[in-house]
Structure 1
């Protein structure tokens, strides 16, 4: 399932003032980066911003659900991403506001160790 090209274009247009937007395919969806830092994913044409314990209260106050998915064994797993508020889809200022929150969470996230060559 591909991410809607119109959504991708809108994200790029709205976030242009914040930096260089890049993206990579991810299990039927897409991962978004600003200046090389992951800050959001899109799945089923829904945008999800990165979150963490620091930003969770703001996401909770806005009623933004946590990203969850069903595992093969039937259990439900969650990731530190929150559903974007509806107004980000038509208001560039709101898109930038919530994207910054996702970007800040991404910057606070522990960095993965790089694999060493043998």
Structure 2
């Protein structure tokens, strides 16, 4: 996914900044990381308050497998719900949830 595609995807949230990190991309809004691009997939940040909403929407949690011999680690990032992919209004709602989780993580 190009940086312009990512900006278009999150247009309903507002301007985003994209930074390369760990072989992927960190996606920021107002200085807060709220999404990642990993292996071409966009993942949204969730936390204890919002993860159940991602589960209910059928999203899949990202599990980092890392290096051989290391145990897989569930990360606080989830796939975008299918229903939001082609619906800019719904995508804006999920983006806002991810941004709010990012804000809570900073405290």
- Deviation track 1:65-115 (CA, whole Å, cap 9, x = no partner) reads 11112132142112111111123332211221111110010011134xxxx
Question: Are residues 9 and 50 of structure 1, via their aligned partners in 2, closer, same or farther at CA, if it must alter by over 3 Å?
Answer: same
Hey, what does 1:56 align to over in structure 2? 51
Structure 2 length-normalised TM:
0.87
C-alpha distance in 2, partners of 1:52/1:79?
10
The offset of 1:43, in angstroms, is 0.8
Hey, what does 2:106 align to over in structure 1? 110
Q: Give unpaired runs (5+ residues) of structure 1.
A: 112-118
Structure 1 residue runs of 4+, over 4 Å off? none
Instruction: Provide the aligned length of Structure 1 versus Structure 2.
Output: 106
Q: Give unpaired runs (5+ residues) of structure 2.
A: none
- Larger radius of gyration between Structure 1 and Structure 2: 1
C-alpha distance in 2, partners of 1:74/1:109?
25
Counterpart selection for 2:5 from 10, 16, 32:
10
C-alpha RMSD over aligned residues: 1.6
Structure 1 length-normalised TM:
0.79
Equivalent positions of 1:68-79 (< 5 A) are 68-72=63-67, 73-79=69-75
